[in-house]
Chains A and B, each alone.
Chain A
Amino acid sequence: MPSEHWTHPEPGDGPAAVAAQPSPEQVIAGLRATSEGGAELTQLLTPEGERVSSPQFDRYVDDIDAEALKGLYRDMVLVRRADREANAMQRQGQLGIWVPLLGQEAAQIGSGRALRKGDMAFPSYREHGVAYARGVDLKEVLGIFRCTDHSGWDYKAHGFHPYTIVIGNQVLNAAGYAMGQKFEGKVGDDDSEATICYFGDGATSQGDVHEGFVWAAVYDAPLVFFCQNNQWAISEPTERQSRLPLYQRARGYGFPGIRVDGNDVLACLAVSRWALEECRHGNGPVLIEAFTYRMDAHTTTDDPTRYRLSDELEEWKLKDPIERVRAYLARGGGADQAFFDQVQADSDAFAAELREYCFNMPEPPPERIFSNVYAESTPLLDAQREEFLSYLDGFVGAGEH
């Protein structure tokens, strides 16, 4: 049973009273608490698709009428379809590796759709849904996993930083970016800018993440830390990283932390909008722990049967982020079968387009190895490049004779 220690802090509250140390069982119970609508978990849409009201957060989704919710539903279905297609393409040898987001669609679309044009997102490597929400062409994301490119998109145009694979690095980078927004006076009113940074539960153990918390806090950076707690860091469960629900760590750094149902797109949208608004008004950083679950392997090279129990997966399937919106829309009359069929058809077309592109993705030319190492190249590198290209030319000649 969760102790007092884990009750939901009201954002902006003062420090909590220090509670007695919880037992190991309590630690795990607290880390894994999934009690829908419980004090800890902000939720607006239950797994059964019932809208529950939240005095604090309802106002952040006032504008989300049936049409808008249908839009969020469509986003999630398209992103999941793309994810499944990419997973299949990896199995067919078309991609070197794939990092699935199955189950994390609501966390990514909810937070991603809360962002505005001037905002900046710093992803790790699983944020394909956020990329989509930022208008990045998922074909460019596929390029990373087909290993034709490290990053293809225009980060500035999309407000979406390149993927970061080294765990935690991007958190400090995001803190610096948000400090820049603050230094340039882009904070203080509704029109201001903010930054959001994505990382996993495992990443919270890294020094960089701790340092990112410190930096953002002491400089009051407009930064939303968005932790997708999908329960696992490859084979290691959250309790291998923390004794405390992750959102509660924010207290120690002096900014608010909140746990949201990461499978509830409406709640993710509302909480992200609230947090971004806090940032825009100069109230400094916020930590959001989106409580969710990775319903597939860590990557296509991983084998979760070695460490995960299948009933855990079955339990989470019942909390599917897409199904609950569908249930709500179907029941509330916001959407008819024709709508769902259309979304299905759209997602199939979307996947087919990705597949077509992936199969025909141009191979990068060898000279790409040498380009963009420096803004201003060096004589040594230029010479190495010339030497290698003429060496390759030698083969072309040899082949022709």
Chain B
Amino acid sequence: MADLQKLTIGKAINLGLRRAMEEDPKVLIMGEDVGKLGGVFRITDGLQKDFGEQRVLDTPLAESGIIGTAVGLAVRGFRPVCEIQFEGFIFPGFDQIVSQVAKLHYRTQGKVKMPIVIRVPFGGGIGAVEHHSESPESLFAHIPGLKVVSVSNAVDAYWGIQQAIKADDPILFFEPKKLYHSGAMKAEIDVDGTPDPLFESRVVREGTTATVVAYGPSVKVALDAATAAEDEGKSLEVIDLRTLSPLDLGPVFESVRKTGRLIALSEAPSESSLTSEIAARVQQECFYSLEAPVLRVTGFDTPYPPAKLEEHYLPDLDRVLHAVDRSLAW
């Protein structure tokens, strides 16, 4: 009989981590405050108690150190799962990620594997001070050698983290922090079931009027917009990218061929970003099917503003619907 558990995204990741650690003694968790405190978001809650201080490491406070030592541990055969406390603090570790994590496999002609997962809570909407609300995922998707995943729901969170840990490539795992503990995002998970493949995008709602492609926290916005659009007699198809690198745009192309319209949605600034990449590839593949240019609904090309302004900065349902109208008006 299936073991069904109803979990939030945060609890789903916690259970996924636990399962991965039970299955493979080489899996380590490392980061700031991940042990006793269970992480500032409590995602690693209870793991140090059960697996000990040598498998759940409260590290010194240094991101370059966390990532850099994870590289050495991986060379030694471990599978480190690093937690970065907030996305805005990944940059002291950026050098190690770009220069070593991403390139060692290539440089050694495949002799050195980098089975490292870097968990990054990201995105806004939590009313925080600077550096706690950003969306830097495009920077990592731009780096060859890295894979980038962003989950939007508890089922993918549970399976995704386990799949990422099992993978032999380094994976940046972007988690929608705003939704960690959201009751609305609770899902029933068959914790012994079979997961979908990690590196595939998925149509999460079917529609015919226009396609909205999103990932991470924006998937919820897209789905809410689709519900609202229904009242106006418009039917939106929503696609969750799930993995940002490699981008699986097959389902997007297919959808655009059906609807003729695409809105690419993301909290990140738009210039030179994932949404740029999506727009470029879709116009290349679906040029004759497009009824309107690909439109983007994103954060602005500014630093993340003071949180009192984030309701304006973050793409919301209205901005998605506005873009749908603009697309239809073409």
Report the separation of the CA atoms of residues A302 and B58 in the bound assembly, to the nearest whole angstrom: 16
Q: Are B309 and A96 in contact (CB under 8 A)?
A: no
Report the separation of the CA atoms of residues A167 and B63 in the bound assembly, to the nearest whole angstrom: 10
Report the separation of the CA atoms of residues A196 and B261 in the bound assembly, to the nearest whole angstrom: 57
Stretch at the interface among B72-80, B146-154, B297-305: B297-305
Residues of A within 8 A of B307 (CB): 96, 147
Distance in Å: Cβ of A223 to nearest Cβ of chain B: 21
| Chain B 177-188 interface 0/1 with A at a Cβ cutoff of 8 Å (1 = within) | 000000000000
Q: Are A149 and B306 in contact (CB under 8 A)?
A: yes
- A59 close to B (CB within 8 Å): no
- B312 close to A (CB within 8 Å): yes
Residues of A within 8 A of B36 (CB): 235, 306-307
Report the separation of the CA atoms of residues A235 and B60 in the bound assembly, to the nearest whole angstrom: 11
User: Which residues 377-398 in A have Cβ within 8 Å of B in the complex?
Assistant: 380-381, 384-385, 388, 391-392, 395
Q: Are A166 and B302 in contact (CB under 8 A)?
A: no
Q: Are A167 and B61 in contact (CB under 8 A)?
A: yes
Report the separation of the CA atoms of residues A145 and B61 in the bound assembly, to the nearest whole angstrom: 23
Distance in Å: Cβ of B269 to nearest Cβ of chain A: 10
With known contacts A96-B127, A369-B305, A381-B301, A234–B312 Cβ distance under 8 A: no
Q: Are B306 and A148 in contact (CB under 8 A)?
A: yes
A207 in complex: contacting residue of B32, B92, B322, CB < 8 Å = B92
A236 in complex: contacting residue of B33, B128, B271, CB < 8 Å = B33
Q: Are A380 and B32 in contact (CB under 8 A)?
A: no
A147 in complex: contacting residue of B33, B64, B127, CB < 8 Å = B127
Distance in Å: Cβ of B11 to nearest Cβ of chain A: 18
Report the separation of the CA atoms of residues A370 and B304 in the bound assembly, to the nearest whole angstrom: 10
Report the separation of the CA atoms of residues A208 and B89 in the bound assembly, to the nearest whole angstrom: 13
Report the separation of the CA atoms of residues A202 and B131 in the bound assembly, to the nearest whole angstrom: 18
Report the separation of the CA atoms of residues A207 and B33 in the bound assembly, to the nearest whole angstrom: 19
Residues of B within 8 A of A364 (CB): 305-306, 308-309
Distance in Å: Cβ of B45 to nearest Cβ of chain A: 9
Smallest Cβ-Cβ distance to B68: which chain A residue: A207
With known contacts A207-B92, A234-B33, A388–B300 Cβ distance under 8 A: yes
Q: Are A166 and B322 in contact (CB under 8 A)?
A: no
- B328 close to A (CB within 8 Å): no
| Chain A 126-167 interface 0/1 with B at a Cβ cutoff of 8 Å (1 = within) | 000000000000000000111111100000000000000111
Distance in Å: Cβ of B319 to nearest Cβ of chain A: 8
- B65 close to A (CB within 8 Å): yes
Report the separation of the CA atoms of residues A186 and B61 in the bound assembly, to the nearest whole angstrom: 35
Distance in Å: Cβ of A27 to nearest Cβ of chain B: 14
Q: Are A207 and B65 in contact (CB under 8 A)?
A: yes
- B292 close to A (CB within 8 Å): no
Report the separation of the CA atoms of residues A167 and B60 in the bound assembly, to the nearest whole angstrom: 12
The count of residues in chain A whose C-beta lies closer than 8 Å to any C-beta of chain B is 46
With known contacts A306-B37, A380-B301, A166–B91 Cβ distance under 8 A: yes
Distance in Å: Cβ of B5 to nearest Cβ of chain A: 24
Residues of B within 8 A of A147 (CB): 127-129, 306-308
Report the separation of the CA atoms of residues A144 and B62 in the bound assembly, to the nearest whole angstrom: 25
Report the separation of the CA atoms of residues A384 and B271 in the bound assembly, to the nearest whole angstrom: 11
Q: Are A96 and B60 in contact (CB under 8 A)?
A: no
Residues of B within 8 A of A206 (CB): 61-62, 64, 92
Residues of A within 8 A of B32 (CB): 233-234, 236
B130 in complex: contacting residue of A165, A208, A307, A384, CB < 8 Å = A165
User: Which residues 93-134 in B have Cβ within 8 Å of A in the complex?
Assistant: 127-131
Residues of A within 8 A of B318 (CB): 395
Distance in Å: Cβ of B33 to nearest Cβ of chain A: 5
- A241 close to B (CB within 8 Å): yes
Distance in Å: Cβ of A394 to nearest Cβ of chain B: 8
- A9 close to B (CB within 8 Å): no
Q: Are B61 and A368 in contact (CB under 8 A)?
A: no
- B204 close to A (CB within 8 Å): no
- A240 close to B (CB within 8 Å): yes
Q: Are A150 and B130 in contact (CB under 8 A)?
A: yes
Smallest Cβ-Cβ distance to A151: which chain B residue: B130
User: Which residues 349-391 in A have Cβ within 8 Å of B in the complex?
Assistant: 363-364, 366, 368-370, 373, 380-381, 384-385, 388, 391
Listed residue (A368, A369, A384, A392) with the most chain B CB atoms within 10 angstroms of its CB? A369
Q: Are A373 and B302 in contact (CB under 8 A)?
A: yes
User: Which residues 209-267 in A have Cβ within 8 Å of B in the complex?
Assistant: 233-236, 240-241
Q: Are B128 and A368 in contact (CB under 8 A)?
A: no
- A285 close to B (CB within 8 Å): no
| Chain A 279-294 interface 0/1 with B at a Cβ cutoff of 8 Å (1 = within) | 0000000000000000
User: Which residues 52-66 in B have Cβ within 8 Å of A in the complex?
Assistant: 58-62, 64-65
Report the separation of the CA atoms of residues A125 and B88 in the bound assembly, to the nearest whole angstrom: 15
With known contacts A96-B129, A240-B58, A366-B312, A166–B306 Cβ distance under 8 A: no
Report the separation of the CA atoms of residues A197 and B60 in the bound assembly, to the nearest whole angstrom: 21
- A269 close to B (CB within 8 Å): no
A97 in complex: contacting residue of B60, B128, B300, B308, CB < 8 Å = B128
Q: Are B312 and A167 in contact (CB under 8 A)?
A: no
Contacts A165-B131, A167-B89 known; 15 new A-B pairs at CB < 8 A: A148-B306, A150-B306, A166-B131, A167-B92, A205-B60, A205-B62, A206-B64, A240-B58, A241-B60, A307-B36, A369-B312, A369-B313, A373-B303, A380-B271, A395-B318
The 5 closest A-B pairs by CB, nearest first: A147-B307, A235-B37, A205-B60, A202-B61, A205-B62
Sample 27 A-B pairs with CB under 8 A, ordered by A number: A96-B129, A97-B127, A97-B128, A97-B129, A147-B127, A147-B308, A148-B308, A150-B130, A165-B88, A167-B89, A205-B60, A206-B61, A207-B64, A234-B33, A234-B40, A235-B35, A235-B58, A236-B32, A236-B33, A236-B60, A364-B306, A368-B305, A368-B306, A369-B302, A373-B302, A381-B300, A385-B300
Query: Which residues of B come within 8 Å of A, CB atoms?
Result: 32-33, 35-38, 40, 58-62, 64-65, 88-89, 91-92, 127-131, 271, 300-303, 305-309, 312-313, 318-319, 322
